C-alpha cells in the first residue's frame, strides 16, 4: 500500500467499530490503523476487541460484528499498549474522527490507564474537508444531479423548481440501488413516495424534535434534564414539567403534541395527581 501524501512524520489513519455512538459509555469492538509513512509506504494493523458488554443488535447490523465474533477476542486494556506504541509519534487522521473516533479512543486508553496524549498531535478529519470543499446545499445538488447552475438561488420559485428537478433526477439515478436508513435498515430505492418517505422521515413526535420515538417505540423527551426519559413517566412523576413547557417559549406544535400525549394518559385511566 502506498500514498502520495507529503509527510514529515507518520500519519495514523484509524477507524473504530463500536457498540454505539455514546463516547462515554460505548466501547470498541474493532479498530483498524493504517500508518502512512513519510517515504510513501503504509502499514496496517487490525484488532478485534471484546467490549465487555453486549453489542446492541442495531449496531451489529451496521458493522456486521456480533457478540459471538468477539467472545474470544481480548479486551481493549490487553492490547492498549500495543496500539499506543504502533501510533506513537503519529499525527492522526480519519473520517469524522475529531467528533467521534478520537474522543472514544482516548476514553478507552484512559480506562486502560495508558497515556495517549494528543496535545502534540495534528489531527486531520477527511469528513470536515469533504463538507468544506463539496457544499451540500441546493445549488450544489442541482449542479450534481442536473448539471445546471441554479440561477436565482434563494428565490422561492427558482428553489422550488430546482428541488423538483433534483428529486426527479435522484429517483432515476438511484433506481434499484440499496439505501440505508438512519436506523440501519436496507431499503431498495424506487420511484415510490412511500419509499422516499421511509428513507427521509425522522422519528420526531413534534416537528421541532423535542420529543421522539426511541428504538423501543416509546415516546421520549429529546432535550433538557429529562432527555431520554419516557414522556408518560415524566408527566406522571413531575406534572409541573407540562405546565413549564406550556408557559415557555416552545413551538405551538410541541405544546399541542405534548397535550395530546397527556390527554391520552388521562383517558387510559392514569391519575391526575
What pLDDT, on a 0 to 100 scale, did the predictor assign at position 272? 45
Task: Give the residue extent of every domain in the chain.
Answer: 11-130, 138-200, 211-267
Rg, Å, the chain Cα set:
24
Distance (Å, rounded) from C-alpha 233 to C-alpha 229? 7
Residue 49 and residue 73 in contact, taking contact as beta carbons nearer than 8 Å = yes
Portion of the chain with pLDDT greater than 70, in percent = 97
The three cell numbers of residue 99 are 467528533
122-148 pLDDT, tens digit per residue, is: 999 988 888 777 788 899 999 999 999
What pLDDT, on a 0 to 100 scale, did the predictor assign at position 26? 94
Question: In 3D, which of 226, 229, 256 has the Cα closest to residue 241?
Answer: 226
Q: What is the distance of C-alpha 249 from the center of its chain?
A: 29
Question: In 3D, which of 200, 197, 203, 223 has the Cα closest to residue 215?
Answer: 203
What pLDDT, on a 0 to 100 scale, did the predictor assign at position 117? 84
What fold, for 11-130?
Nucleotidyltransferase; domain 5 (3.30.420)
What pLDDT, on a 0 to 100 scale, did the predictor assign at position 1? 77
Amino acid at each position: 500500500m502506498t500514498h502520495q501524501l507529503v509527510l514529515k512524520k507518520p500519519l495514523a489513519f484509524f477507524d473504530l467499530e463500536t457498540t454505539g455512538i455514546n463516547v462515554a459509555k460505548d466501547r470498541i469492538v474493532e479498530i483498524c490503523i493504517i500508518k502512512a509513512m513519510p517515504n510513501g509506504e503504509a502499514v496496517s494493523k487490525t484488532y478485534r476487541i471484546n467490549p465487555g458488554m453486549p453489542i446492541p443488535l442495531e449496531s451489529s447490523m451496521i458493522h456486521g460484528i456480533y457478540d459471538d465474533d468477539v467472545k474470544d477476542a481480548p479486551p481493549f486494556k490487553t492490547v492498549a499498549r500495543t496500539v499506543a506504541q504502533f501510533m506513537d509519534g503519529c499525527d492522526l487522521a480519519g473520517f469524522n474522527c475529531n467528533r467521534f473516533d478520537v474522543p472514544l479512543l482516548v476514553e478507552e486508553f484512559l480506562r486502560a490507564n495508558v497515556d495517549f496524549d494528543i496535545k502534540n498531535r495534528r489531527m486531520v478529519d477527511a469528513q470536515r474537508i469533504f463538507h468544506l470543499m463539496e457544499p451540500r446545499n441546493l445549488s450544489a445538488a442541482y449542479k450534481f444531479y442536473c448539471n445546471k447552475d441554479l440561477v436565482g438561488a434563494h428565490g422561492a420559485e427558482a428553489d422550488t423548481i430546482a428541488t423538483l428537478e433534483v428529486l426527479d433526477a435522484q429517483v432515476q439515478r438511484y433506481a434499484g440501488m440499496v439505501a440505508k436508513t438512519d436506523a440501519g435498515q436496507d431499503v431498495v430505492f424506487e420511484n415510490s413516495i412511500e419509499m422516499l418517505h421511509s428513507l427521509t422521515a425522522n422519528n420526531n413526535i413534534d416537528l421541532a424534535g423535542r420529543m421522539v420515538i426511541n428504538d423501543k417505540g416509546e415516546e421520549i423527551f429529546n432535550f433538557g434534564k429529562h432527555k431520554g426519559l419516557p414522556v408518560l413517566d415524566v408527566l406522571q412523576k413531575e406534572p409541573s414539567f407540562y405546565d413549564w413547557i406550556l408557559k415557555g417559549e416552545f413551538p405551538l406544535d410541541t405544546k399541542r403534541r405534548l397535550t395530546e400525549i397527556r390527554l391520552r394518559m388521562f383517558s387510559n385511566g392514569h391519575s391526575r395527581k
